[in-house]
Amino acid sequence: MNESLLHRMRPVTRRLRLMRFWQVWAVFAVVAVAVAWWLKSRAGSGVIDGYGAALTLASIAFGCAVAVAIGCALMYRDPRMVARRIEEKFPALDQRLLTALSQRDDQLGFLQQRVVREARDHSRSNAWIDAVSAKQFWLSRLSGLAATALLVAGIVSLSVTTPKAQGRALPAIDPGAEPVVLPGNVEIEKGTSFVVTTRFAGGGVDRGELIVEDASGTERTLPMTQSLDDPVLAAFVASVQDPLQYRVTARSWSSESYRVDVFEYPEMKRADASLEYPSYTSLVPKRIENTVRVSAVVGTQLTWQIMLNKPVVTAVLVDEDGLRLPLAFANPEASVGEVALLVQQSQRFTLELVDDAGRKNKYPPTLVVRALANEPPKLKVTPAKDSEVSALEEFPLLLNVVDDFGVSEVGLVYSLSGGQPTEITLRRDIQRGEKVTLEQMLALEDLNAQPDQLLAYHFFATDVDADGNARRTDSDMYFAEVRPFDQIFRQGDPPPSGPPSPPSPSAAQADELAELQKEIISATWRVIRDQRSLGKNDTFNTSVDLLAESQQEALAKLEELASELSDPRSQAFVDAVRSSMTSAAEAIEASRADAKGGKLSKAVPHEQAAYGGLLKLRAREFEVAKAQQKPSQGQSSAAQKKRQQQLDDLELEQDENRYETQSQAEPSSQEEAAQQEVRQLLSMLRDLARRQEDLNEELAQLQSALEQAETEEERKAIERQLQRLRDQQEDLLRETDELAERMNDSSNEASNADAQEQLQDTRQDVQEAAKALEEKDVATALASGKRAERQFEDMRDDFRKEAAGQFNDAMRQMRSEAQTLDEKQQELVEKLADVPSADESPGLRPEESRPDVESEMEEQREAIDDLLNQMQETVAEAEEAEPLLAQKLYDSYRSTRQRGVDQAMSQAVELTRRGMKLEAEEVIEKASEGVSQLRKDLEDAAESVLGDESKALERALGELDRLDEQLTREIDQNQSSNEPQSEADSGATPGQGSTSEEDAKDPGNSEAGQPSQGSRRPQQQGSGKGESPAESESEGSPESSGLPSSQASPEQRDAGGKRSASAQQSEGGGPMQAFERGGPNAAPLTGEGFREWSDSLREVEEMVDDPELRSQAARIRDRARQIRIDFKRHSKEPEWNLVEEMIATPLRELKRNVSEEFVRRSAERNAAVPIDRDPVPPQFDNAVRQYYERLGSGQ
């Protein structure tokens, strides 16, 4: 660019920047003046210090001025912007200036030089500075200066502002009455606030001043206002950190100076832990800073270093048993103490502090020491079961070993047919926490293994115990049987039906004897292993007695087996086994007198030799056939189970019927199935307790109404209601019997003898209540019902701990309470803001609304205290089971206490009572922040225990889909069957069914092998009537063809091509299979599937946490149960229109509500939400309608 032109343009640029600076600064200055005016009113009321606010505002204004100056100096850096401004002012330039600025000085030709010269000549003949209007420039400067002057005046005025009451003429006070100033000379805790009140006996004083002087001599004046109509002036002094003096002035009266001293309760500021581990752990000493929980192995030397806020007279750690450990201080003035202890067991210490004034710490902290035992090595053997091997096989063994402090040696011990054990060292020196996988191959050919011999083996690991001595840990003993080479399997004729035929008596007896001998070997090994680790104790002799008794029993069974054998070869085997068993029994008897119990190991080789001899008695030839039903657990021995896999590999001529019955997935584990059953029992108990409570309430009302009835008609009406309650009580009694039946089920491990006995007592009370209602004895019925209600609730509480985990319910309750407290706190803030102060409306009686807010704040404070106490109790209970949960709860509890939420609520109540609204609002805002943080902390802690709520809602939604589908299917089937039979009379035979169209529409229901789409529940054990799959199939088929009923012969179908009703009913293995396919015998309301349907809905109730959703599910179950009762009692077909209205429609409403809750909680942006959920705004109504029209037309 041409430098000469830029030089002539600089005055224009400078003027533009100055004008913009004054314009922007004027805006900032006006805003600052408004802020100064507002601060002046606050300072006049005594809320803030005027001088300090003026300094702060002046600093902010100066910073803004500098920022504006820098920003304006960086503006108009592009000369073209200024050139366009000049071109607009002087059109005669005709773009010459912009053209000249675009040329480079070193590339100017003749024409370019001419353009530049013309632009330069124009600048000489014209004042380019006029491109910026002088009028606008001076107006902007004057506005900026005026705003600056106003700002300076405002800041000066703010700095000299004092409370309004300072300059007022104060009327005289009655000299005969001496005002009373409270609290006078006082000592308060550091950081707390206090209220100064002055009571004038004669009255007539409505304003005064409180002059506060700190230790440095600085004074500040606070206004004192009258509290309501009382002759009392009050002022609030917030957060006193240092000692101060104060006095009260009112009119011509001034009080004496009072002193406020500040003290601190003794408090732990920090705790550090130093750990010196035992030598066998090979761990270096460790220091953990700022902790109150320490986990260390037994034998660790722990030193707590505790830092206090000030020196104390007494500092003691007290455990739960009353053991007191005093802290040692370097000198009396030291605030850091130490205490050392040896970790032997888990302990909880409370730190008790007492200062020189006798004050104790307000919230004694808890120091937790968790002792970790030196566990033996963990050995995981693969395969962890007995095996069958050949004499030429290489048998692989796998061991996974890990130890908390390292292993010095790992090895394998094996023996063959009672021979001497061989020990192999697999590895040495495994480090702490190292997971090692060791593999060893045993070549049986190299061991000269022979058929019918027994290979016994186990692993061992050696580490160091807590005393520093070597400790050997042995795994379980496993066996590998060497099978013969010549086992023959011949195919036989299959049995007609039912279970397969059992083996011959002698073969079964030999197998049982071999299993017994193997159990004796395993038991002997376990006794030896326990004796090595624990030494000989009281249980050793008892175990030896059992071993001796079992070995004698085996000898007796051997004699029975020998009496049935006739061939010499088998008799020789029996003689060898008898000799080995006798030697084993003698060795067991000899171990009784051994002081150390070491002689018991001598019995193991004889026991193994006896087992090997029994293996030689096994059969060599087998006749097998494939049956329709596999043997049950009680029909097959352990030996038969081991051969089952080999039998399954045989290719027999009879193909397996792959279509005989429908099956569903079993629960993933027995533990999961047991937990599911416990949840069902818990839900049933909760339901029974609730219904009994409702019955008791109605009985109490009817008892009162019966006593007040005056006419015979009123008594008859009450008796009819009593009859209805009697029916409901009997229904409750039947469901109690159903619960007892489920609890007495042998497969249910959730219940115990005490619970069953308690349920029987509860049932007796329910029965007495029903009997009393039948006799119209309302008082006795009510008393029995109350007892039953209490017992149901006690059983519900016991099962709740077992079903939901130890802390699930506690965390769910605390989370709900925290959410409620947070919402209530926000409401209190809004209510307090709406309460008028005494100054705003002294004549409108504001005291009418203030007591309500005060009482609500007091209730809120008590609720917060209750929640904190509950958190403290949960921390103590969860220390061992849920350490992470305990840590989170303790941190939340401690931070809430440190924020002083309860103290802030107490201060807010006191300030509100005295009419000091502004101060109360500030204090309650601080408390609201603490409550909100408490809610967040509890939600985070609850998630670690309860898991993600959205996952449970997702499962509940899927379950509701299935329930809705099943109920809709039943309604549709019954409504269609109630239509006129004209269509059926037009060609249907009596044997035709009525569901072929539905089967055609729903292919998933037309085959027995296909479960329903919505099915998610596991199949119940058994079919419900004890029938086997083979029997169930044979009922509906005249031939045992092995085909599924959907592929049966044409003779099994009617002329119209529809399946017969008998075929439909027989294609499943029980009512649950028919229920999943929608069969008539398993309908959710009128069929055998009601219990399953009701249990599923009860599970949905347990999955959701929202009380409203739970209530909806409970109402639907109650209505369904009532319809079921009417159907069973009166054989009355339900009114399906009423079922649709009372059950099906609310069920769909529940499903929609759960879906909305799931979408809200999952917070997924791509969640499917109906677009017409909210009303369409009027301005978009036509556009939305046109969109749907185009969408429907396919455009």
Single-letter amino acid code for the residue at 310: K
C-alpha span between 1030 and 704 (Å, rounded): 61
pLDDT(528) > 80: yes
Q: Are strands 258-263 and 422-430 parallel, antiparallel or unpaired?
A: unpaired
Domain 808-841+849-947 has CATH 2.120.10: no
Helix or strand or coil: residue 1004? helix
Please state, in angstroms and rounded to a whole number, the distance separating the CA atoms of residues 115 and 993.
Answer: 104
The CA distance from 1039 to 247, in Å, is 110
CB atoms within 10 A of CB 865: 13
What pLDDT, on the 0 to 100 scale, is given for residue 985? 43
Pairing between strand 186-189 and 258-263? Answer: parallel
What CATH code is assigned to 164-263? Answer: 2.60.40.10
Q: Which helix (H) or strand (E) holds 171?
A: none
CA max distance for the chain: 145
* Mean pLDDT on 685-707: 85
Token couple for 177: 């009455």
Which of 129-138, 171-180, 266-275, 489-498 is least confident? 489-498
Q: Quote the DSSP letter at residue 1040.
A: -
Write out the DSSP string of 1073-1096.
Answer: HHHHHT-GGG-TTTSTTHHHHHHH
Class of domain 486-490+507-622: mainly alpha
Q: What is the pLDDT of residue 1157?
A: 80
| E strand or H helix that includes residue 399 | strand 394-402
pLDDT band at 351 (very low <50, low <70, confident <90, very high): very high
Q: Which amino acid is at 694?
A: D
Q: With bands split at pLDDT 50, 70 and 90, how would you rate the model's confidence at 893?
A: confident
pLDDT for the residue 1044: 34
Whether the per-residue pLDDT at 195 is higher than 70: the answer is yes
Integer Cα distance of 646 and 628 in angstroms:
18
Q: How confident is the model at residue 805 (pLDDT cuts 50, 70, 90)?
A: low
Calpha distance 243→187 (Å, rounded): 9
Most confident among 270-279, 895-904, 1118-1127 (mean pLDDT): 270-279
313: its two tokens: 């007279």
Q: Which one is predicted more confidently, 1133 or 117?
A: 1133
Tens of pLDDT along 86-99? Answer: 767 777 666 666 66
The Cα 150–Cα 155 span in angstroms is 9
Structure tokens at 931: 């409550």
In 709-752, alpha helices (H): 712-744
Mean pLDDT, rounded, of the chain? 75
For the segment 611-635, what is each residue's pLDDT rounded down to a tens digit?
888 877 765 545 555 554 444 444 3
Short-list 657, 633, 644, CA closest to 489 = 644
- The answer, yes or no, to whether residue 505 has pLDDT greater than 50, is yes
For the stretch 760-801, pLDDT in tens is 788 888 888 888 888 888 888 888 888 888 888 888 777 665
Q: Buried b / exposed e across 888-924, counting CB within 10 Å, b at 16+?
A: bbbebbbebbebbbbbbbbbbbbbbbbbbbebbbbbb
Q: What is the pTM of this model?
A: 0.47
Read off the pLDDT band of 109 (50, 70, 90). Answer: low
Average pLDDT estimate for 1044-1056: 36
At 313 the pLDDT is 93
Q: Is it the case that residue 53 has pLDDT exceeding 90?
A: no
Q: Which long-range CB contacts under 8 A does 561-567 form with residues at least 24 apart?
A: 561/506, 561/509, 561/510, 561/513, 561/617, 564/505, 564/506, 564/509, 565/506
Rounded CA separation 162/152 (Å)? 18
Q: In this predicted structure, which of 101-105, 126-130, 456-460 has the lowest mean pLDDT?
A: 101-105
First to last CA, the chain: 60
The answer to whether 606 touches 583, Cβ cutoff 8 Å, is yes
Q: What is the pLDDT of residues 854-886, one digit of tens each?
A: 888 888 888 898 888 888 888 877 766 667 777
Report the pLDDT averaged over residues 1125-1138: 78
Q: What is the mean pLDDT of residues 689-711?
A: 85
Mean pLDDT (whole number) for 911-927: 83
User: How do strand 328-329 and strand 253-254 relate by DSSP bridges?
Assistant: unpaired
- Which tokens is 117 given? 């010269």
How many percent of the chain have pLDDT more than 90?
Answer: 9
Q: Predicted confidence band at 503 (pLDDT cuts at 50, 70, 90)?
A: low
What pLDDT does residue 204 have?
65
Q: Which long-range contacts link 114-120 to residues 24+ away (Cβ below 8 Å)?
A: 116/2, 116/4, 116/5, 119/5, 119/93, 120/4, 120/5, 120/8
Alpha-carbon gap, residue 887 to 989, rounded angstroms: 74
Tokens representing 883 are: 């350490």
Q: What is the DSSP string of 617-654?
A: TS-SEEEE---SS---TTTS-HHHHHHHHHHHTS--SS
Closest to 1033 measured CA to CA, from 664, 662, 665, 666: 662
155 closest CA partner among 64, 51, 297 = 51
Contacts of 497 (CB under 8 A, 6+ apart): 628, 629, 1030, 1031, 1034, 1040
* Mean pLDDT of the 668-682 span: 61
Distance in angstroms (rounded) separating the CA atoms of residues 750 and 683: 14
Model confidence pLDDT, tens digit, residues 199-234 = 887 666 778 899 999 888 889 899 888 766 677 888
CA–CA distance, 1044 with 1010 (Å, rounded to integer): 12
Residue 1042 Ramachandran class (φ > 0 left, ψ -120 to 50 alpha, else beta): left
Q: What is the residue whose two structure tokens read 């220390």?
A: 879
Distance CA 698, CA 722 (A): 9
Asked if pLDDT for residue 545 goes beyond 80, the answer is: yes
Q: What is the pLDDT of residue 624?
A: 53
* For residue 383, cis peptide bond before it (omega within 30 degrees of 0): yes
The fold adopted by the segment(s) 268-372 is: Immunoglobulin-like (2.60.40)
Tell whether the model's pLDDT for residue 491 goes beyond 90: no
Cα 844 to Cα 826: distance, rounded to the nearest angstrom:
26
* Contact assessment for residue 89 and residue 130, using Cβ atoms and an 8 Å cutoff: yes
Tokens of 928: 């609201």
pLDDT of residue 261: 93
Ramachandran angles phi, psi of 638, nearest 5°: -65, -35
pLDDT tens digits, residue range 1054-1096? 333 333 333 333 333 333 333 344 444 567 888 878 878 888 8
Q: pLDDT confidence of 267, banded at 50, 70, 90?
A: very high
- DSSP letter at 214? E
One CATH from 2.102.10.10, 3.50.50.60, 2.70.98.50, 2.60.40.10 for 374-484: 2.60.40.10
The top-scoring range by mean pLDDT among 132-136, 463-467, 495-499 is: 463-467
**Sign of the CA dihedral with 761 first, then 762, 764, and 769 last:** positive
Task: Give the pLDDT score at 349.
Answer: 94
Are 395 and 364 in contact by the 8 Å Cβ rule? The answer is no
User: Would you say how long the chain is, in residues?
Assistant: 1195
